[in-house]
């Protein structure tokens, strides 16, 4: 369940503060860069509130979508969520058995 929520958590965090979702995903350089951009915009554009609001909104949307995309990509590479296990054994009576499990769900049992 944690992996399923990860893209949404990173998206919400990035929308609240640009770069926070990237920090959550372990992308520290990118996260700090986005935080720096938001702080720089706040310092440099406070005299122009319309430009500031437009820039920060566009930044928040772009950064949130990027965090969502990265989280989905990390989820696909996660060995815990995309695992495959095959157990082959010989039973005491000499019968061979094989159990195949994908993503913690029993798929095939061969005897």
User: What was the pLDDT predicted at 5?
Assistant: 75
The contacts of residue 39 (CB under 8 Å, 6+ apart) are none
63 & 13 share domain: yes
- Structural domain boundaries enclosing 62: 2-77
d(CA 68, CA 78): 15
pLDDT per position as a tens digit, 92-106: 777 777 666 655 555
50 & 90 share domain: no
Structural domain tally of the chain? Answer: 2
Q: Flag residues of the chain having pLDDT under 50.
A: 1, 82, 108, 110-111
Backbone phi and psi for residue 90, each to the nearest 5 degrees, phi listed first: -115, 125
Q: Which single residue is written with the structure tokens 């992308």?
A: 27
d(CA 40, CA 18): 12
43 & 61 share domain: yes
User: What was the pLDDT predicted at 30?
Assistant: 92
Which run of H or of E encompasses 8? helix 2-16
User: What was the pLDDT predicted at 102?
Assistant: 58
**First-to-final CA distance of the chain:** 32
């Amino acid at each position: 369940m944690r992996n399923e929520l990860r893209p949404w958590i990173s998206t919400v965090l990035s929308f609240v503060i640009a770069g926070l979702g990237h920090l959550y995903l372990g992308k520290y350089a990118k996260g700090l860069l986005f935080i720096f951009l938001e702080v720089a915009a706040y310092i440099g554009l406070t005299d122009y509130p319309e430009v500031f609001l437009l820039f920060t909104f566009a930044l928040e949307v772009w950064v949130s979508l990027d965090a969502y995309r990265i989280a989905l990509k990390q989820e696909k590479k996660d060995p815990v969520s995309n695992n495959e296990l095959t157990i082959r054994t010989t039973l005491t009576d000499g019968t061979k058995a094989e159990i195949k499990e994908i993503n913690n769900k029993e798929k095939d049992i061969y005897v």
